[in-house]
Amino acid sequence: MKFAGTHFGARRGTDGVSRQKVSVTKATMEKHLKIAIFIDFDNIEIGVKSTLQREFDVSVVLEALKERGEIVTKIAYANWGRMENSTRQLSEYAVQMVQRDPSPRGDKNGADINLALDALEMAFTHDHINAFTIVSGDSDFIALVNKLKQYDKTVFVVGGKAFTSTILQKNCHEFISYESMLDDSRSSRSQREHARESSGSGNSGSSGGRDRQERGPHSVDRQQGPPKEGGPQGPPREPREQGQQSRRPALDLHQAMPLVERALQVLERREVRPQLGLLKSTMLQLDSSFSERAYGAGSFTDFIEKLRKNDLILVTGGEGRYMISRKRGGAPEKTVRPEEALPFLRDVLENHRLELEEGVTATDLQQWVSEESPTFDWKAYGFQEFSEFLNFSQDKTVVRIVPDETQGLLVYLGAEFHPPAVPEPEPLPLPDETEEEEEPQPIVPGQPTAGSERPKKGARKTTGREVDGNVVAPPKRARAKSAAPRKRRAPAPSV
């Protein structure tokens, strides 16, 4: 009733303002995006291998981005000399590959600098490109994301929840997790296989249904369908079985309610009718890392339906025109912040400090946490997997994570456990030594003092003693007489 009253009041009093708001919102939602994709291949490849134990599939990323707009260009940066299999797949999807030659010093940021420069150049020279996608988990691209947003570009970030910086996830317009895209691709393949089998069974009777059951595994083997249809036969099925077993658990719907209620409050203050599309865009503005798939929903409509069935929101309307409102009354449930999970991890790290100095795998650390804190559940704090919890802890400087292609994630103690050395205290100043006072110079008659005038050059020096103001010359000393008289030389005889 509240929405109905608001709707009719808008028609009577503020029809022009209401239509203007709706038209602006509709124009924003219907904005056609032309997307440029920039792939930091070295980063995304090792991230997927170390966390998901599988190869990076660029087709999954392209299919997900096609749902958001038109892909204009695709560029990937890496040292392609050691990636023959990857280059073959990228060539099939017309991805431009830019060679990054490592410097003698092992410059690991070379691809980052080239990618950032090319993205900014494209933003300046191609005005029709209004959306950029950064496929990487490196937090160094935060400056690039912020600069593109300043130039009114829509920025998507594609990466794994377990290795993409949480700061990068929160600062883009929408973060698309690679794990959710894998779930979508598996579900779409299973739906296609189910539809294909249903269409085949519709043309036959009961015997045809039995034949379909007998042909099912063979048809899936030929078409390389999902593994659950064909059973664990043959080497090609092994990666898909691992992918299905590693399907991530869904989070509790109550953990999404603070974001849903905040988005509904924002729309109410704007006096805008909270429809499905507008509600999701508002939630992404508030938290760009939100994904309904984290809560076990295949679409945002399924997510709203789950909330309605759990009596968390009120939904009115139908046939694609749902109106969502908050439930009034009742004490709000206490929400748990992700930071509250860090003390459990700190205690375990402190107990295994020596082992962590050399680095341990994430699996071993997860086992230690489960043994020492059996009541701790990271899913209660908003993390679907333990690796996501470690990624969050790394941004909080609790741990340091190094991805490894063979061992997965290696965990070390973070900067929190290695604080900077305390600077040495400055030496205390010595007590001020009092300068010894010089005694006055004694005045000696006839000798110059420090304050007396210097004698002029050429002046005859007088020596003697002063008597009544007159200088008296000293008496002359008598010469000593020689013992023998001096002989005179006789004159020379005349010739």
From 335, 357, 386, the end of a domain falls on 335
Whole-number Å distance between alpha carbons of 51 and 84 = 22
Residues 94, 138 within the same domain: yes
* 104 and 162 belong to one structural domain: yes
Q: Which of 271, 300, 335 is the last residue of a domain?
A: 335
pLDDT one-digit tens code per residue, 314-333: 888 766 677 888 776 654 56
For 426, list phi and psi in degrees, rounded to 5: -70, 140
The pLDDT score that the predictor gives to residue 221 is 38
Residue 364 and residue 382 in one domain: yes
Q: What is the DSSP letter of 375?
A: T
Q: How many residues does the chain have?
A: 495
**pLDDT of 199 higher than 60:** no
Among 21-25, 184-188, 405-409, name the most confident range: 405-409
Who's near 294: CB < 8 A, 6+ residues apart?
Answer: 180, 248, 250, 251, 384
Same domain, 52 and 114: yes
Average pLDDT over residues 124-151: 93
Neighbours of 267 (CB within 10 A): 18
Domain end (from 354, 388, 417): 417
In 101-237, alpha helices (H): 110-125, 142-150, 166-171, 178-202, 206-223, 227-230
Query: Is the residue at 463 inside a domain?
Result: no
Least confident stretch, 96-105, 196-205, 317-326: 196-205
Rounded to an integer, the average pLDDT of 364-371 is 92
Tell me the angle at which helices 2-12 and 15-29 cross, rounded to the nearest 10 degrees.
Answer: 110
Whole-number pLDDT of residue 325:
82
Q: What pLDDT was estimated at residue 189?
A: 56
Confidence of residue 367 (pLDDT cuts 50, 70, 90): very high
DSSP 272: -
Token pair for 311: 């009596």
Residues 345 and 314 in one domain: no
Please check whether residue 165 lies inside any domain of the structure.
Answer: yes
Q: Return the CATH number at 49.
A: 3.40.50.1010
Co-location of 282 and 348 in the same domain: no
Number of H helices, E strands in the chain: 19, 13
Residue 277 and residue 356 share a domain: no
Q: Grade residue 218 by pLDDT with cuts at 50, 70 and 90.
A: very low
Cβ 387 vs Cβ 51: under 8 Å: yes
Reduce the DSSP state of residue 144 to 3 states and report it.
Answer: helix
145-160, pLDDT tens digit by residue? 999 999 999 999 999 9
Residue 293 lies in a domain: yes
Give residue 330's region: left, alpha or beta (phi > 0; psi -120 to 50).
left
Segment 382-395 mean pLDDT: 90
Decide if pLDDT at 216 tops 70: no
- Residues in CB range of 279: below 8 A, 6 or more apart: 260, 263, 264, 267, 304, 324
**Range of the structural domain that residue 140 is part of:** 32-181
- Cα gap 425→432, rounded to integer Å: 20
Q: What is the pLDDT of residue 217?
A: 35
Q: How many domains, the chain?
A: 3
Report the pLDDT averaged over residues 35-48.
92
Residue 7, in any domain of the structure: no
pLDDT of residue 173: 93
Asked if residue 243 belongs to a domain, the reply is no
* Nearest one of 117, 156, 116, 131 to 73, comparing CA atoms: 131
Tell me the pLDDT band of 470, cut-offs 50, 70 and 90. Answer: low
The CATH number of the domain holding residue 314 is 3.30.420.610
Within-domain flag for 191: no
Same-domain check for residues 354 and 313: no
Same structural domain for residues 70 and 171? yes
Residues 446-467: tens digit of each pLDDT: 777 766 666 666 555 555 566 6
Task: List the one residue out of 472, 469, 465 whose CA is nearest residue 447.
Answer: 465
Residues 393 and 354 in one domain: yes
* Residue 227: pLDDT band with limits 50, 70, 90: very low
Question: How many whole angstroms separate alpha carbon 64 and alpha carbon 69?
Answer: 10
- Using one digit for the tens of pLDDT, what is the confidence trace for 270-310? 888 788 888 888 898 888 888 888 888 888 888 988 888 88
Percent of the chain exceeding pLDDT 70 equals 65
Residue 45 lies inside a defined structural domain of this protein: yes
The whole-angstrom separation of Cα 102 and Cα 186 is 37
- The larger pLDDT score, comparing residue 219 to residue 105, is at 105
Residue 142 lies in a domain: yes
Q: How far is CA 252 from CA 63, 256, 293, 377, in A?
A: 28, 8, 12, 12
**CB of 68 closer than 8 Å to CB of 137:** no
* Cα gap 101→9, rounded to integer Å: 65
Query: Are residues 351 and 331 part of one domain?
Result: no
| Res. 117 pLDDT band, cuts 50 70 90 | very high
137 — phi, psi (to 5°)? -115, 10
Are residue 176 and residue 43 in the same domain, yes or no? yes
Report the DSSP pairing between strands 96-99 and 70-78: parallel
